[in-house]
Structure 1
Protein backbone atom coordinates (compact mmCIF):
# COMPACT_ATOMS: atom_id res chain seq x y z
CA UNK A 1 0.00 0.00 0.00
CA UNK A 2 2.82 2.41 0.74
CA UNK A 3 3.70 4.74 -2.11
CA UNK A 4 0.69 3.75 -4.20
CA UNK A 5 -2.57 5.48 -5.00
CA UNK A 6 -4.97 3.68 -2.68
CA UNK A 7 -8.77 3.67 -2.59
CA UNK A 8 -10.90 2.62 0.36
CA UNK A 9 -13.84 0.53 -0.84
CA UNK A 10 -16.74 0.12 1.61
CA UNK A 11 -19.01 -2.72 0.52
CA UNK A 12 -22.70 -3.10 1.35
CA UNK A 13 -22.79 -1.54 4.83
CA UNK A 14 -26.58 -1.34 4.70
CA UNK A 15 -29.38 -1.33 7.27
CA UNK A 16 -30.94 -4.48 5.81
CA UNK A 17 -28.16 -6.64 7.23
CA UNK A 18 -29.57 -5.95 10.69
CA UNK A 19 -32.79 -7.61 9.50
CA UNK A 20 -33.36 -10.94 11.26
CA UNK A 21 -33.48 -12.93 8.00
CA UNK A 22 -29.67 -13.25 7.94
CA UNK A 23 -29.36 -14.93 11.34
CA UNK A 24 -26.41 -14.92 13.76
CA UNK A 25 -23.44 -12.76 12.81
CA UNK A 26 -19.74 -12.74 13.60
CA UNK A 27 -17.73 -9.65 14.51
CA UNK A 28 -20.60 -7.35 15.53
CA UNK A 29 -18.08 -4.50 15.92
CA UNK A 30 -17.23 -4.47 12.20
CA UNK A 31 -19.13 -1.26 11.51
CA UNK A 32 -17.15 0.61 14.20
CA UNK A 33 -13.96 -0.36 12.36
CA UNK A 34 -15.50 0.65 9.01
CA UNK A 35 -16.29 4.05 10.55
CA UNK A 36 -12.75 4.38 11.85
CA UNK A 37 -11.35 3.63 8.39
CA UNK A 38 -13.67 6.17 6.76
CA UNK A 39 -12.83 8.86 9.32
CA UNK A 40 -9.06 8.29 9.14
CA UNK A 41 -9.19 8.09 5.34
CA UNK A 42 -10.84 11.51 5.16
CA UNK A 43 -8.81 13.16 7.93
CA UNK A 44 -5.46 11.97 6.59
CA UNK A 45 -6.46 12.38 2.91
CA UNK A 46 -5.30 8.88 2.13
CA UNK A 47 -7.13 8.55 -1.19
CA UNK A 48 -10.57 8.23 -2.69
CA UNK A 49 -13.52 6.62 -0.92
CA UNK A 50 -15.74 4.27 -2.92
CA UNK A 51 -19.07 3.23 -1.42
CA UNK A 52 -20.83 0.17 -2.81
CA UNK A 53 -24.53 -0.56 -2.26
CA UNK A 54 -26.23 -3.87 -3.02
CA UNK A 55 -29.53 -3.23 -4.80
CA UNK A 56 -31.15 -6.66 -4.69
CA UNK A 57 -33.48 -7.44 -7.60
CA UNK A 58 -35.51 -9.69 -5.25
CA UNK A 59 -38.54 -7.70 -4.02
CA UNK A 60 -38.60 -9.81 -0.83
CA UNK A 61 -35.00 -8.95 0.10
CA UNK A 62 -34.34 -6.36 2.81
CA UNK A 63 -31.73 -4.97 0.37
CA UNK A 64 -34.25 -4.30 -2.42
CA UNK A 65 -34.18 -0.60 -3.45
CA UNK A 66 -37.83 -0.15 -2.33
CA UNK A 67 -37.06 -1.40 1.21
CA UNK A 68 -35.72 0.75 4.06
CA UNK A 69 -32.99 -1.88 4.54
CA UNK A 70 -31.41 -0.79 1.26
CA UNK A 71 -30.23 2.43 2.93
CA UNK A 72 -26.58 2.76 3.88
CA UNK A 73 -25.83 2.79 7.58
CA UNK A 74 -25.43 6.28 9.03
CA UNK A 75 -21.62 6.50 9.22
CA UNK A 76 -21.31 5.38 5.61
CA UNK A 77 -24.19 7.52 4.36
CA UNK A 78 -22.68 10.68 5.88
CA UNK A 79 -19.25 10.04 4.33
CA UNK A 80 -18.23 12.05 1.28
CA UNK A 81 -17.76 9.30 -1.28
CA UNK A 82 -15.77 9.97 -4.42
CA UNK A 83 -17.77 7.24 -6.15
CA UNK A 84 -20.96 5.37 -5.26
CA UNK A 85 -21.64 2.07 -7.00
CA UNK A 86 -24.92 0.20 -7.27
CA UNK A 87 -24.67 -3.55 -7.83
CA UNK A 88 -26.94 -6.60 -7.74
CA UNK A 89 -24.33 -9.37 -7.82
CA UNK A 90 -21.48 -10.23 -5.44
CA UNK A 91 -18.61 -8.35 -7.06
CA UNK A 92 -18.35 -4.56 -6.90
CA UNK A 93 -16.65 -4.82 -10.30
CA UNK A 94 -20.03 -5.70 -11.85
CA UNK A 95 -21.82 -2.57 -10.73
CA UNK A 96 -22.77 0.80 -12.09
CA UNK A 97 -20.73 2.85 -12.75
CA UNK A 98 -17.84 0.60 -13.82
CA UNK A 99 -15.42 0.36 -10.87
CA UNK A 100 -12.45 -0.97 -12.85
CA UNK A 101 -12.72 1.81 -15.45
CA UNK A 102 -13.02 4.48 -12.74
CA UNK A 103 -10.01 3.12 -10.82
CA UNK A 104 -7.98 3.13 -14.05
CA UNK A 105 -8.90 6.74 -14.86
CA UNK A 106 -8.02 7.68 -11.26
CA UNK A 107 -4.64 5.86 -11.44
CA UNK A 108 -5.50 3.69 -8.43
CA UNK A 109 -3.19 0.71 -7.94
CA UNK A 110 -4.05 -0.35 -4.40
CA UNK A 111 -7.35 -1.12 -2.66
CA UNK A 112 -8.43 -1.50 0.95
CA UNK A 113 -11.72 -3.39 1.25
CA UNK A 114 -14.16 -3.59 4.14
CA UNK A 115 -17.87 -4.25 4.63
CA UNK A 116 -20.51 -6.94 4.61
CA UNK A 117 -20.51 -9.96 4.00
CA UNK A 118 -16.97 -11.21 4.53
CA UNK A 119 -17.37 -14.45 2.57
CA UNK A 120 -19.70 -13.13 -0.08
CA UNK A 121 -19.33 -9.65 -1.59
CA UNK A 122 -16.09 -8.70 0.18
CA UNK A 123 -14.34 -11.94 -0.76
CA UNK A 124 -15.67 -11.92 -4.33
CA UNK A 125 -14.57 -8.32 -4.86
CA UNK A 126 -11.14 -9.04 -3.33
CA UNK A 127 -10.60 -12.10 -5.55
CA UNK A 128 -11.57 -10.21 -8.68
CA UNK A 129 -9.44 -7.20 -7.71
CA UNK A 130 -6.45 -9.46 -7.14
CA UNK A 131 -6.98 -11.11 -10.53
CA UNK A 132 -7.18 -7.67 -12.16
CA UNK A 133 -3.75 -6.81 -10.76
CA UNK A 134 -4.59 -4.50 -7.87
CA UNK A 135 -2.63 -4.62 -4.61
CA UNK A 136 -5.52 -5.65 -2.33
CA UNK A 137 -5.80 -5.50 1.44
CA UNK A 138 -8.87 -6.64 3.34
CA UNK A 139 -9.53 -4.91 6.66
CA UNK A 140 -10.66 -8.17 8.21
CA UNK A 141 -12.00 -6.77 11.49
CA UNK A 142 -14.02 -4.26 9.43
CA UNK A 143 -16.02 -7.11 7.84
CA UNK A 144 -18.66 -9.47 9.13
CA UNK A 145 -20.87 -12.28 7.93
CA UNK A 146 -23.61 -14.62 9.08
CA UNK A 147 -24.09 -18.32 9.83
CA UNK A 148 -25.01 -20.40 6.79
CA UNK A 149 -27.55 -23.23 6.78
CA UNK A 150 -28.22 -24.48 3.25
CA UNK A 151 -29.35 -27.62 1.44
CA UNK A 152 -26.90 -28.65 -1.28
CA UNK A 153 -27.99 -31.46 -3.63
CA UNK A 154 -25.68 -34.42 -3.27
CA UNK A 155 -24.13 -33.07 -0.05
CA UNK A 156 -27.23 -32.68 2.10
CA UNK A 157 -27.81 -29.99 4.69
CA UNK A 158 -24.68 -27.91 5.33
CA UNK A 159 -24.24 -25.60 8.29
CA UNK A 160 -21.33 -23.38 9.23
CA UNK A 161 -20.81 -20.63 11.78
CA UNK A 162 -20.07 -17.07 10.76
CA UNK A 163 -16.77 -17.24 12.66
CA UNK A 164 -15.61 -20.28 10.68
CA UNK A 165 -16.73 -18.72 7.42
CA UNK A 166 -14.69 -15.61 8.21
CA UNK A 167 -11.61 -17.71 9.00
CA UNK A 168 -12.04 -19.64 5.75
CA UNK A 169 -12.24 -16.36 3.81
CA UNK A 170 -9.06 -15.07 5.46
CA UNK A 171 -7.29 -18.31 4.58
CA UNK A 172 -8.59 -18.36 0.98
CA UNK A 173 -7.59 -14.76 0.29
CA UNK A 174 -4.14 -15.04 1.87
CA UNK A 175 -3.22 -18.52 0.61
CA UNK A 176 -4.53 -17.80 -2.89
CA UNK A 177 -2.56 -14.57 -3.16
CA UNK A 178 -5.71 -12.55 -3.79
CA UNK A 179 -5.23 -10.14 -0.89
CA UNK A 180 -3.39 -9.33 2.28
CA UNK A 181 -5.60 -9.80 5.33
CA UNK A 182 -4.94 -7.25 8.09
CA UNK A 183 -6.60 -5.50 11.01
CA UNK A 184 -7.84 -1.93 10.79
CA UNK A 185 -5.12 -0.74 13.19
CA UNK A 186 -2.40 -2.47 11.17
CA UNK A 187 -3.64 -0.96 7.91
CA UNK A 188 -3.79 2.55 9.32
CA UNK A 189 -0.31 2.23 10.84
CA UNK A 190 1.11 1.32 7.39
CA UNK A 191 -0.37 4.29 5.55
Structure 2
Protein backbone atom coordinates (compact mmCIF):
# COMPACT_ATOMS: atom_id res chain seq x y z
CA UNK A 1 0.00 0.00 0.00
CA UNK A 2 1.20 3.50 -0.87
CA UNK A 3 0.63 6.68 1.18
CA UNK A 4 0.80 10.25 -0.05
CA UNK A 5 2.82 12.47 2.31
CA UNK A 6 2.39 16.23 1.80
CA UNK A 7 5.14 18.16 3.54
CA UNK A 8 4.88 21.68 5.01
CA UNK A 9 2.21 23.13 2.74
CA UNK A 10 1.51 25.83 5.28
CA UNK A 11 0.46 29.44 4.88
CA UNK A 12 3.95 30.62 5.90
CA UNK A 13 5.31 29.01 2.72
CA UNK A 14 2.90 30.92 0.46
CA UNK A 15 3.62 34.31 -1.03
CA UNK A 16 6.73 36.34 -1.79
CA UNK A 17 7.78 36.75 1.86
CA UNK A 18 8.96 33.14 1.83
CA UNK A 19 11.56 33.91 -0.86
CA UNK A 20 12.24 33.45 -4.57
CA UNK A 21 11.05 29.99 -5.53
CA UNK A 22 10.69 27.77 -8.57
CA UNK A 23 7.77 25.70 -9.82
CA UNK A 24 4.78 28.02 -9.38
CA UNK A 25 2.51 25.12 -10.41
CA UNK A 26 3.54 22.91 -7.46
CA UNK A 27 0.36 23.57 -5.47
CA UNK A 28 -1.78 22.65 -8.48
CA UNK A 29 0.10 19.36 -8.84
CA UNK A 30 -0.12 18.64 -5.12
CA UNK A 31 -3.87 19.31 -5.23
CA UNK A 32 -4.24 16.87 -8.17
CA UNK A 33 -2.37 14.19 -6.21
CA UNK A 34 -4.45 14.87 -3.11
CA UNK A 35 -7.70 14.67 -5.08
CA UNK A 36 -6.63 11.36 -6.66
CA UNK A 37 -5.57 9.83 -3.34
CA UNK A 38 -8.84 10.90 -1.74
CA UNK A 39 -10.88 9.52 -4.65
CA UNK A 40 -9.05 6.19 -4.31
CA UNK A 41 -9.57 6.12 -0.53
CA UNK A 42 -5.79 5.79 -0.15
CA UNK A 43 -3.91 7.02 2.93
CA UNK A 44 -2.86 10.66 3.08
CA UNK A 45 -0.48 12.20 5.62
CA UNK A 46 -0.18 15.95 6.09
CA UNK A 47 3.05 17.17 7.69
CA UNK A 48 3.24 20.51 9.43
CA UNK A 49 6.42 22.19 10.67
CA UNK A 50 6.00 23.68 14.14
CA UNK A 51 8.94 25.89 15.06
CA UNK A 52 10.67 25.92 18.42
CA UNK A 53 11.65 29.57 17.85
CA UNK A 54 9.29 32.17 19.32
CA UNK A 55 8.34 34.74 16.70
CA UNK A 56 8.75 32.32 13.81
CA UNK A 57 5.90 32.31 11.28
CA UNK A 58 5.69 28.57 12.07
CA UNK A 59 5.38 29.04 15.83
CA UNK A 60 2.20 27.36 17.14
CA UNK A 61 -0.82 29.63 16.85
CA UNK A 62 0.68 31.85 14.15
CA UNK A 63 -1.17 32.10 10.80
CA UNK A 64 1.95 30.83 9.00
CA UNK A 65 1.72 27.51 10.84
CA UNK A 66 -1.75 26.79 9.45
CA UNK A 67 -2.26 24.62 6.38
CA UNK A 68 -2.96 26.29 3.06
CA UNK A 69 -6.76 25.97 2.72
CA UNK A 70 -6.80 24.05 -0.60
CA UNK A 71 -4.37 21.47 0.81
CA UNK A 72 -5.72 21.23 4.35
CA UNK A 73 -6.35 17.80 5.85
CA UNK A 74 -9.80 16.29 6.13
CA UNK A 75 -10.86 15.12 9.59
CA UNK A 76 -9.92 11.47 8.92
CA UNK A 77 -6.49 12.21 7.37
CA UNK A 78 -3.39 11.81 9.50
CA UNK A 79 -1.48 14.93 10.58
CA UNK A 80 2.15 14.82 11.68
CA UNK A 81 3.77 17.75 13.45
CA UNK A 82 7.54 18.07 13.29
CA UNK A 83 10.11 20.58 14.48
CA UNK A 84 13.07 19.42 12.38
CA UNK A 85 13.17 19.04 8.59
CA UNK A 86 12.80 15.23 8.57
CA UNK A 87 9.17 14.20 9.13
CA UNK A 88 10.27 10.78 10.45
CA UNK A 89 12.26 12.18 13.41
CA UNK A 90 10.40 12.15 16.74
CA UNK A 91 7.00 12.11 15.01
CA UNK A 92 5.73 8.52 15.16
CA UNK A 93 5.26 8.56 11.38
CA UNK A 94 7.21 5.37 10.72
CA UNK A 95 5.14 3.45 13.28
CA UNK A 96 1.88 4.89 11.91
CA UNK A 97 2.79 3.70 8.40
CA UNK A 98 3.99 0.25 9.48
CA UNK A 99 0.93 -0.48 11.65
CA UNK A 100 -1.21 0.11 8.54
CA UNK A 101 0.91 -2.10 6.32
CA UNK A 102 2.10 0.83 4.22
CA UNK A 103 5.39 0.00 2.54
CA UNK A 104 5.56 2.76 -0.08
CA UNK A 105 5.41 6.53 0.21
CA UNK A 106 4.98 9.37 -2.26
CA UNK A 107 6.41 12.71 -1.15
CA UNK A 108 5.35 16.18 -2.27
CA UNK A 109 5.73 19.61 -0.74
CA UNK A 110 8.37 22.08 0.31
CA UNK A 111 11.17 22.61 0.25
CA UNK A 112 12.78 20.16 -2.09
CA UNK A 113 16.28 20.57 -0.65
CA UNK A 114 15.23 20.67 2.98
CA UNK A 115 12.23 18.83 4.42
CA UNK A 116 11.44 16.84 1.27
CA UNK A 117 15.03 15.69 0.79
CA UNK A 118 15.55 14.92 4.49
CA UNK A 119 12.30 12.95 4.68
CA UNK A 120 12.99 11.07 1.44
CA UNK A 121 16.41 10.01 2.70
CA UNK A 122 14.90 8.64 5.89
CA UNK A 123 12.04 6.92 4.07
CA UNK A 124 14.50 5.22 1.74
CA UNK A 125 16.84 4.27 4.58
CA UNK A 126 13.91 2.82 6.53
CA UNK A 127 13.06 0.55 3.60
CA UNK A 128 10.00 2.29 2.23
CA UNK A 129 9.66 2.30 -1.57
CA UNK A 130 9.92 6.06 -1.94
CA UNK A 131 8.87 8.34 -4.77
CA UNK A 132 9.37 12.10 -4.87
CA UNK A 133 7.10 14.00 -7.25
CA UNK A 134 9.39 16.56 -8.90
CA UNK A 135 6.68 18.89 -10.17
CA UNK A 136 4.82 18.74 -6.84
CA UNK A 137 7.78 20.16 -4.90
CA UNK A 138 9.61 23.45 -4.97
CA UNK A 139 12.72 25.10 -3.59
CA UNK A 140 14.02 28.58 -2.90
CA UNK A 141 17.03 30.38 -4.33
CA UNK A 142 20.05 29.97 -2.08
CA UNK A 143 23.71 30.93 -1.95
CA UNK A 144 25.92 27.85 -1.75
CA UNK A 145 28.76 27.30 0.71
CA UNK A 146 31.31 28.70 -1.76
CA UNK A 147 29.31 31.94 -1.94
CA UNK A 148 27.83 31.28 -5.38
CA UNK A 149 24.17 32.33 -5.74
CA UNK A 150 22.05 29.41 -6.97
CA UNK A 151 18.64 29.77 -8.55
CA UNK A 152 15.64 28.03 -7.06
CA UNK A 153 15.63 25.71 -10.10
CA UNK A 154 19.30 24.82 -9.49
CA UNK A 155 18.61 24.05 -5.82
CA UNK A 156 15.49 22.02 -6.69
CA UNK A 157 17.10 19.89 -9.41
CA UNK A 158 20.27 19.24 -7.39
CA UNK A 159 18.22 18.07 -4.40
CA UNK A 160 16.29 15.68 -6.66
CA UNK A 161 19.58 14.49 -8.17
CA UNK A 162 20.88 13.76 -4.66
CA UNK A 163 17.89 11.46 -4.06
CA UNK A 164 17.44 9.79 -7.44
CA UNK A 165 18.27 6.12 -7.40
CA UNK A 166 19.83 6.24 -3.94
CA UNK A 167 16.88 7.00 -1.70
CA UNK A 168 13.92 7.54 -4.01
CA UNK A 169 12.58 7.37 -7.53
CA UNK A 170 11.89 10.80 -9.01
CA UNK A 171 8.55 10.95 -10.81
CA UNK A 172 6.14 13.57 -12.15
CA UNK A 173 2.46 14.07 -11.38
CA UNK A 174 1.09 12.87 -14.73
CA UNK A 175 3.15 9.68 -14.68
CA UNK A 176 2.26 8.94 -11.07
CA UNK A 177 -1.46 9.54 -11.61
CA UNK A 178 -1.35 7.14 -14.55
CA UNK A 179 -0.09 4.40 -12.21
CA UNK A 180 -3.12 4.92 -9.96
CA UNK A 181 -5.39 4.02 -12.86
CA UNK A 182 -3.68 0.64 -13.43
TM-score bucket of the superposed structures, by smaller chain:
over 0.9
Q: CA deviation at 1:30?
A: 0.4
Match of 2:64 in 1: 69
Q: CA deviation at 1:190?
A: 1.2
Q: Which whole-Å CA distance do the structure 2 matches of 1:95 and 1:87 have between them?
A: 7
1:105 is the counterpart of 2:99: yes
1:133 is the counterpart of 2:127: yes
Asked whether the 8 Å contact 2:132–2:170 carries over to 1, the reply is yes
Q: CA deviation at 1:20?
A: 4.0
Moved >4 Å (runs of 4+): none
Q: CA deviation at 1:60?
A: 2.9
Aligned length: 180
Asked whether the 8 Å contact 2:12–2:18 carries over to 1, the reply is no
1:36 is the counterpart of 2:26: no
RMSD (CA atoms): 1.6
1:190 is the counterpart of 2:175: no
| Among candidates 150, 156, 161, match of residue 151 of structure 2 | 161
Match of 1:174 in 2: 164
1:57 is the counterpart of 2:52: yes
1:116 is the counterpart of 2:110: yes
Q: Which runs of 5+ in 1 are unaligned?
A: none
Q: CA deviation at 1:80?
A: 4.7
Q: Which whole-Å CA distance do the structure 1 matches of 2:178 and 2:16 have between them?
A: 36
Q: CA separation of 1:68/1:115 partners in 2, compared to 1, >3 Å: closer, same or farther?
A: same
Q: Which runs of 5+ in 2 are unaligned?
A: none
CA deviation string 1:59-105 (max 9, x = no partner): 23222213211110012215455310000101110143x00011110
TM-score by length of structure 2 reads 0.92
Q: CA separation of 1:158/1:67 partners in 2, compared to 1, >3 Å: closer, same or farther?
A: farther
Secondary structure of the structure 2 residue equivalent to 1:126: helix
TM-score by length of structure 1 reads 0.88
Q: Which whole-Å CA distance do the structure 1 matches of 2:87 and 2:75 have between them?
A: 18
